[in-house]
Copies of this chain bind each other. A is one copy, B any other.
């Protein structure tokens, strides 16, 4: 059997309001740097390039940020698929699959997010290679990350029985679990067999399109003109503009994965973060009781451990404070306790309510 062609689809929807003031409507989270020299999107492209040729890396993003995203991703224009409006991940995944199927329906697609962080790109590529044979023979493989803490911000995958020789290393998925409360998250961690649902999937274009037909017929019907246009390689944009607004808005998880019988899970051990809050970014970057981290710019830390700092055009001095995020975005400064940083959303909501569109 010939080794399948490996493709990557990077999903770059969502603004990431919890990263205010750095993330904005005009500057979404994938375009932020999160400790590395590159943007999160740039890092995602580099991650994909470990296993896929440049021509096989695809980006799906919203119309608002298409130009900036294209620049940051460094991909050819025809590899960037622009959604006329946000419809969550199921339509985005379907669109990319339709477009790739027109070139090679047996290509193995790895779906990943443009705004997550996986420091070990080699380990990630190795997992893709491990999942690929099962995907090539018809499995929908979801990657499950072994938890390292009782995280309440992620959904979980409960592992079922091992797949055995057919799919070495893979497991059935017993069930998908919503974000748990703290007590439950602690039980999951203690008991084992529960993995973080990282939203990373490996499957062929053919399989996912089949399963969308089966599990999400309304979406499949709505997408039919888009698939035809993609297959014929023409007027895709016009078909998208017409079909997209009428599509149901749904994540691929509930639309397909929780319904399909072809779903398998590959447990993985590498470090992964959805970088969902300033706190999780701080943890990613090694901020703890004794260390602070300066994201960008100049900072002077005097007796100030456990902080995450981002300076802009002027230095920031922290004196005798700990556990803070101090973020100067150039047009606004946020000072919050890291433990409170989930509430940044409330700030954004309040700014919206107060009509401060200049700060959104």
Chain A residues packing against B (C-beta within 8 Å): 21, 300, 302-303, 311, 314-321, 324, 326, 328-337, 339-341, 343-344, 346-347, 350-351, 359
* Interface of A: prevailing SS: mixed
A318 CA / B328 CA spacing, docked (Å)? 12
Pairwise interchain contact A300-B347, C-beta atoms closer than 8 A: yes
- Which residue of B315, B324, B332, B344 contacts A359 across the interface (Cβ within 8 Å)? B315
23 A-B residue pairs with Cβ-Cβ distance under 8 Å, sorted by A, are A300-B350, A302-B343, A302-B350, A303-B343, A311-B333, A314-B328, A314-B330, A314-B333, A315-B333, A315-B359, A316-B333, A317-B332, A317-B333, A317-B347, A318-B336, A319-B334, A319-B344, A319-B347, A320-B336, A321-B335, A321-B336, A321-B337, A326-B335
Point out the residues of chain B lying under 8 angstroms from A336, CB to CB. 317-321
Pairwise interchain contact A324-B335, C-beta atoms closer than 8 A: yes
| Closest beta carbon of chain B to A224's beta carbon, Å | 46
Pairwise interchain contact B319-A321, C-beta atoms closer than 8 A: no
Pairwise interchain contact B340-A320, C-beta atoms closer than 8 A: yes
User: What 7 A-B pairs have minimum CB-CB distances, sorted nearest first?
Assistant: A320-B340, A319-B336, A316-B333, A317-B334, A320-B337, A314-B331, A318-B335
Pairwise interchain contact B317-A343, C-beta atoms closer than 8 A: no
- Which residue of B300, B321, B335 contacts A316 across the interface (Cβ within 8 Å)? B335
Name A311's closest neighbour in chain B (CB-CB).
B333
A316 CA / B335 CA spacing, docked (Å)? 8
With contacts A340-B320, A347-B300 taken as known, whether A335 is within 8 angstroms of B332 at the C-beta atoms is no
Q: Which of A302, A317, A337, A350 is the most central at the interface, judged by chain B CB atoms within 10 Å of its CB?
A: A317
Point out the residues of chain B lying under 8 angstroms from A359, CB to CB. 315
A329 CA / B316 CA spacing, docked (Å)? 10
A275 CA / B262 CA spacing, docked (Å)? 71
| Closest beta carbon of chain B to A302's beta carbon, Å | 6
A346 CA / B319 CA spacing, docked (Å)? 9
Point out the residues of chain B lying under 8 angstroms from A334, CB to CB. 316-317, 319
| Closest beta carbon of chain B to A111's beta carbon, Å | 33
A330 CA / B337 CA spacing, docked (Å)? 23
A346 CA / B324 CA spacing, docked (Å)? 21
A360 CA / B315 CA spacing, docked (Å)? 13
Pairwise interchain contact B335-A319, C-beta atoms closer than 8 A: yes
| Closest beta carbon of chain B to A19's beta carbon, Å | 13
| Closest beta carbon of chain B to A244's beta carbon, Å | 35
| Closest beta carbon of chain B to A140's beta carbon, Å | 40
Point out the residues of chain B lying under 8 angstroms from A347, CB to CB. 300, 302, 317, 319
Pairwise interchain contact A315-B300, C-beta atoms closer than 8 A: no
Pairwise interchain contact B300-A346, C-beta atoms closer than 8 A: no
